């Protein structure tokens, strides 16, 4: 038994135990993949908290496409991510907690396998469009020791890529007006006057059309709604100064993001692939700090990107799959980015790759409207800048359930229902039996998690 398997058996409710043991049934292999296997389109917005979406109670922005996707499909009411983009992306693409494979901000280890590798190996046609930012992030004057040491887009397992920020940070160019885009190894030279998010969706839809008769997997890590906050083609200011920056354009960017999801959905319908295509919409962390979004109950929710509270981690997760997803179903289970990969594998009939460890649990039963079984807690390992002393970005590890949160570093317990902003930790001397039991449970979760990357040698 490997040390990872031993860890999972030590604490039987640890996420991923069922996945480690396999789903049962007949696994899919390369020879068995046919048109009957579902397509998968995984869309991840950038900096978009749950409070921005109408079906989550948001009223500040019009999001009719996502609202309809939820009405006809499944909405997860308690979905979470890490508080910043790269930690979530690394976990989402590998299916592992960051303590297993985290390196540094903007870096994915070159040897790390992603769902691009596994889906390609399973016989799927694969494509990634949108934001990469995993090969080289830090400029020469800031923590340059990791510069250029991440995974290149062409090595990420996808057959095709169409990406912004595929290399060094200072050379990344615009992601919105007049974008700098790497098209399978060659940079586009004709993007003046064009909008990056439109080009990403153009490529995605063309990929769908070219592979309409084969099962495909597309990963679309969006550039929207991350800053810089600039006009969209639907903004009156686009024709005046498309490079203008102003926080108020976040509103336009949210609504354009919704429009783009609609273009993807419409293309699947046009190609006759709607019932054969699983569409997953997710986000990498909470909204930008300057955003103030209103809920229908009158509450104003400030953006929480980068913070370890619920405003920083609670995000939308909506699944559409006509004929399979239970229409209008709302799932209250706690879920996170590690659950996406097991869900995709099980939906596609792909056996868990041998020798790999995954930390999530499949959500396929819940998508079908069945009760399913799921852990009643989530664990977070967040260390964006290992070795750096920035106060907000030092190592933080915590566990939550639907009511309580326990921090490993401070030992503080919070009641997230009564105190969602975490201003008043529970006094251990006055803790009631529920708080005592919650602390015991969440401490056991934290204790079951390792710290593997502590032993890595930082490059000179």
Q: Is the pLDDT of residue 10 over 60?
A: no
* pLDDT 10s digits, 307-325: 999 999 999 999 999 999 9
216-221: strand order across its sheet: 186-187, 182-183, 160-164, 125-131, 216-221, 39-45, 277-283, 318-320, 74-79, 329-335
The reported pLDDT for the residue numbered 6 is 32
When the candidates are 3.40.720.10, 3.40.630.30, 3.40.50.720, 3.20.20.70, the CATH number that belongs to 37-376 is 3.40.720.10
309 half-sphere exposure, CB direction, 13 A CA radius: 18
Q: What is the pLDDT of residue 458?
A: 57
| Strand-strand pairing, 396-400 and 404-407 | antiparallel
Flag the least confident range among 89-93, 223-227, 352-356.
352-356
Cβ distance 444 to 406 under 8 Å? Answer: no
Who wins on pLDDT, 341 or 390? Answer: 341
Mean pLDDT of 165-184: 96
Give residue 20's pLDDT band: very low, low, confident or very high (50, 70, 90).
very low
For residue 385, the model assigns a pLDDT of: 82
Q: Is the pLDDT of residue 83 over 50?
A: yes
9-15, long-range: CB < 8 A, 24+ apart: 10/448, 11/444, 11/445, 11/447, 11/448, 13/375, 13/376, 13/377, 14/359, 14/375, 14/445, 14/448, 15/338, 15/339, 15/359, 15/360, 15/361, 15/375, 15/379
Instruction: Tell me the residue ranges of DSSP E strands in 123-259.
Output: 125-131, 160-164, 182-183, 186-187, 216-221
Per-residue pLDDT, 51: 98
pLDDT for 32: 62
Q: Quote the pLDDT of residue 36.
A: 81
pLDDT for 203 beyond 50: yes
Is the whole model's pTM more than 0.85, yes or no?
yes
**What are the start-end ranges of the E strands in 166-264?**
182-183, 186-187, 216-221
> What average pLDDT is seen over the chain?
91
Query: Which residues of the chain does CATH 3.40.720.10 include?
Result: 37-376
Give the model confidence (pLDDT) of 284-294 as tens digits: 999 999 999 99
DSSP letter assigned to residue 281: E
- Six-digit token pair at 295? 């809920």
d(CA 345, CA 174): 34
pLDDT at 212: 96
Banded model confidence at residue 389, pLDDT cuts 50, 70, 90:
low
Q: If we measure between CA atoms, which residue out of 350, 349, 320, 43 comes closest to residue 200?
A: 43
| Percentage above 70 pLDDT, the chain | 90
Between CA 115 and CA 121 the distance in angstroms is 10
For residue 330 the two structure tokens come to: 């709302």
Label residue 244 by pLDDT band (50, 70, 90): very high
pLDDT score, position 144: 79
How large is the average pLDDT for residues 399-427?
97
The Cα–Cα gap between 429 and 435 comes to 11
Q: Once rounded to an integer, what is the mean pLDDT over residues 34-50?
A: 94
Higher pLDDT, 147 or 52: 52
In this prediction, residue 456 has a pLDDT band, given cuts at 50, 70 and 90, of low
Stretch 53-75: mean pLDDT: 98
| Residues 231, 252 contacting (CB under 8 angstroms) | yes
C-beta separation of 302 from 48 below 8 A: no
pLDDT value at residue 387? 66
pLDDT value at position 8?
36
């Amino acid at each position: 038994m490997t040390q990872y398997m031993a860890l999972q058996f030590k604490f039987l409710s640890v996420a991923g135990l069922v996945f480690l043991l396999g789903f049962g049934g007949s696994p899919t292999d390369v020879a068995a993949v046919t048109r009957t296997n579902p397509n998968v389109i995984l869309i991840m917005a950038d900096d978009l908290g749950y409070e921005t979406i109408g079906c989550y109670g948001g009223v500040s922005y019009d999001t009719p496409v996502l609202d309809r996707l939820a009405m006809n499909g499944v909405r997860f009411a308690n979905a979470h991510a890490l508080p910043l983009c790269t930690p979530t992306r690394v976990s989402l693409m590998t299916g592992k907690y960051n303590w297993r494979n985290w390196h540094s901000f903007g870096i994915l280890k070159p040897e790390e396998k992603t769902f691009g590798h596994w889906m390609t190996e399973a016989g799927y046609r694969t494509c990634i469009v949108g934001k990469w930012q995993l090969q080289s992030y830090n400029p020469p004057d800031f923590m340059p020791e990791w510069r250029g040491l991440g995974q290149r887009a062409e090595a990420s397992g996808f057959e095709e890529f169409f990406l912004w920020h595929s290399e060094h940070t200072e050379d990344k160019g615009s992601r919105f007006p007049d974008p700098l885009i790497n098209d399978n190894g060659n940079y586009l030279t004709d993007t003046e006057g064009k909008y990056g998010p439109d080009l990403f969706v153009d490529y995605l839809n063309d990929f769908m059309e070219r592979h309409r008769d084969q099962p495909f997997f597309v990963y679309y890590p969006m550039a929207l709604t991350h800053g810089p906050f600039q006009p969209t083609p639907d903004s009156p200011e686009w024709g005046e100064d498309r490079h203008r920056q102003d926080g108020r354009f976040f509103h336009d960017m949210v609504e354009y993001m919704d429009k783009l999801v609609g273009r993807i959905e419409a293309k699947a319908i046009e190609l006759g692939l709607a019932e054969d295509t699983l569409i997953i919409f997710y986000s990498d962390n909470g909204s930008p700090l300057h955003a103030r979004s209103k809920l229908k109950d009158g509450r104003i929710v400030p953006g929480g990107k980068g913070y370890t509270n619920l405003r920083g981690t609670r995000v939308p997760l909506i699944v559409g799959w006509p004929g399979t997803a239970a229409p209008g179903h709302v799932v209250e289970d706690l879920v996170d980015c590690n659950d996406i990969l097991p869900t995709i594998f099980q939906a596609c009939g792909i056996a868990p790759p041998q020798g790999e460890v995954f930390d999530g649990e499949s959500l396929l039963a819940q998508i079908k409207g069945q009760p399913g079984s799921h852990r009643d807690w989530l664990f977070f390992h967040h260390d964006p800048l290992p070795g750096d002393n920035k106060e907000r970005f030092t190592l933080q590890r915590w566990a939550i359930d639907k009511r309580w949160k326990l921090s490993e570093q401070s030992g503080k317990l919070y009641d997230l229902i009564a105190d969602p902003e975490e201003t008043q930790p529970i006094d251990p001397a006055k803790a009631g039996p529920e708080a005592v039991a919650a602390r015991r449970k969440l401490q056991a979760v934290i204790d079951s998690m390792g710290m593997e990357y502590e032993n890595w040698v930082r490059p000179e």
